[in-house]
Amino acid sequence: MKRVIGLGGIFFKAKDPKVLYEWYRQHLGIESATDGSGAMWRDADHPEIPGCNVWAVFPEETKYFAPSQSSFMINFRVENLDELLKALREEGVQVDPKVEEAEYGKFGWIMDPEGNRVELWEAPKAVVSG
């Protein structure tokens, strides 16, 4: 079984996400989505590959990274979330019992030995728009 097949995204906390998004837009050309979900892009050479990369800034007080105290969270793309979470549990990895399904894929979470929350994402079989 393949485990991680790519980087899904990088999420981090900021005191003022709107100001930070504007800074990155102005200085690095990273355009955020109009709904505030972050910047998303797909490999231009392979647009048929499902999924995209997400770069998102969260409010400093977000609970989305909990129980981690870290100011960031990495999202990895995986091929089969259920199988991977099962294998990780068997290996003694701390796995969040919650799994979420949405139109843009399935999500699960683990904690690394340093206490960082890691998001695992199985993209839907159809191409995700972004």
Phi-psi region of 10 (alpha: psi -120 to 50; beta: other; left: phi over 0): beta
**Is 82 a residue whose pLDDT tops 90?**
yes
Cα–Cα dist 57/119, whole Å: 15
In whole angstroms, what is the distance from residue 72 CA to residue 44 CA?
A: 27
How many CB atoms are located within 10 Å of the residue 29 CB?
Answer: 8
pLDDT of residue 101 exceeding 80? yes
Whether the per-residue pLDDT at 7 is higher than 70: the answer is: yes
pLDDT tens across 35-70, in order?
767 777 666 677 666 557 888 899 999 999 999 999
Mean pLDDT of the chain: 86
| Structural domains present in the chain | 4-122 (3.10.180.10)
